């Protein structure tokens, strides 16, 4: 086993594009192999060409996701089950093996729309706040999610995702932010950005400067800079978990990323 | 302490010619995360 302790998770698996029994089986095997360290994070998807490629109508993504989660949990129960939904039907079906975690690995759901927040609150064990939206948007969404979770009788659990550019200083972070900015301009172009006060003058992806993107959205700069920004997020959103992404396809290098993992682990994580 | 997970890069555009290297790097980054006190490693699936 290459790791012994850390949790292993998907983040995120576009559930409507997968067969739920296949997902349930794979998750059970991974959970057993890692001695109960799996977290299944799912999303409903948003890019039309993803749905076209898998011949799944995007209009069915919400109901497929909700049903798939019900089927997955039946599969993890270790008991025979029957299920009749709009998309999936089973009669006296038994799926083995059971995952080690019972009643199953935690299921987190990513969403960036009000209906998606309600879906996460109603059907998942946690909500993943995407790395795209700014703090004011996430703060409002967190309130909505917590209210919906309490209404659904579930304990709210918020996993905050952020993109980070760890560097010697804020100036160096801007210099090294090219790959992260490329990703965020892609998100903007696809309409993933929810309008906020920082985007008033942004009409096209190329209008999205580092300053506009970084403010209350990215985690950037030295370890001390990152710590201060994350403490601000903690105070405003009170997340239960944080997922950080340092590396995009365009960089930084693997060696730089290993160093960022070390620095962050030594200088930031213990103080959060 | 807030638990922190790491999300590695799983892409190798445009052709995926270096996927073996990418997977080796993900494993090394996951191991580094474990060594330095991170809580999890998450894969874009």
How high is the mean pLDDT of chain A? 97
Tokens 């975690």 sit on residue: A101
Which residues of A fall within a CB distance of 8 Å from B15? Answer: none
B25–A234 C-beta distance less than 8 A: no
Buried b (16+ CB within 10 A) or exposed e, B7-42: bbbeebeeeeeeeeebeebbebbbbbbbebbbbbbb
> Region A175-191: what's the mean pLDDT?
94
Task: Supply the Cα-derived Rg of chain B in whole angstroms.
Answer: 12
B25–A3 C-beta distance less than 8 A: no
A244–B9 C-beta distance less than 8 A: no
What pLDDT is recorded for position B44?
86
The ipTM, to two decimals, is: 0.98
Confidence band, pLDDT 50/70/90 cuts, at residue A175: very high
CA distance A10 to A99: 15
Which residues of B fall within a CB distance of 8 Å from A265? Answer: 32-33, 35-38
> Region A162-191: what's the mean pLDDT?
95
A261–B33 C-beta distance less than 8 A: yes
**H or E element in which residue A9 lies:** strand A7-10
What pLDDT is recorded for position A191?
87
CA distance A82 to A164: 45
Confidence band, pLDDT 50/70/90 cuts, at residue A67: very high
Tally C-beta pairs within 8 A across A and B.
126
> Region A261-267: what's the mean pLDDT?
98
pTM: 0.97
CA distance A262 to B34: 10
pLDDT tens per residue, range B20-45: 999 999 999 999 999 999 999 999 87
Q: Is the pLDDT confidence value at A200 over 80? A: yes
């Amino acid at each position: 086993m290459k790791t012994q302790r850390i949790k292993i998770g998907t983040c995120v698996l576009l559930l409507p594009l997968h067969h739920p029994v296949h997902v349930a089986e794979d998750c059970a095997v991974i959970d057993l192999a890692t001695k109960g360290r799996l977290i299944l994070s799912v999303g409903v998807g948003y890019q039309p060409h993803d749905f076209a490629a898998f011949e799944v109508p995007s209009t069915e993504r919400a109901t497929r996701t909700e049903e798939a989660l019900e089927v997955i949990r039946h599969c993890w129960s270790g008991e025979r089950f029957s299920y009749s939904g709009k998309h999936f039907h089973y009669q006296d079906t038994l799926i083995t093996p059971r995952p080690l975690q019972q009643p199953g690995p935690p299921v987190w759901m990513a969403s960036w729309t009000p209906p998606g927040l309600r879906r996460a609150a109603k059907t998942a064990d946690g909500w993943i706040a995407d790395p795209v939206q700014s703090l004011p948007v996430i703060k409002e969404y967190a309130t909505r999610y917590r209210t919906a979770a309490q209404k659904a009788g579930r304990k709210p659990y918020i996993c905050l995702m952020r993109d980070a550019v760890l560097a010697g200083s804020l100036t160096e972070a801007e210099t090294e932010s090219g790959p992260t900015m490329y990703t965020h301009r892609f998100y903007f172009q696809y309409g993933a950005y929810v309008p906020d006060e920082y985007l008033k003058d942004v009409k096209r992806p190329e209008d999205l400067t580092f300053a506009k993107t970084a403010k209350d959205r990215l985690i950037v700069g030295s370890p001390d800079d990152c710590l201060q920004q994350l403490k601000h997020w903690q105070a405003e959103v009170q997340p239960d978990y944080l997922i950080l992404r340092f590396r995009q396809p365009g960089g930084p290098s693997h060696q730089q990323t290993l160093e960022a993992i070390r620095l962050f682990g030594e200088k930031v994580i213990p103080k959060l | 302490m807030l638990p922190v997970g790491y999300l590695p890069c799983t892409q190798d555009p445009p052709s995926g010619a270096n996927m073996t290297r990418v997977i080796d790097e993900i494993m090394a980054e996951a191991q580094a995360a474990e060594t330095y006190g991170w809580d999890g490693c998450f894969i874009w699936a």
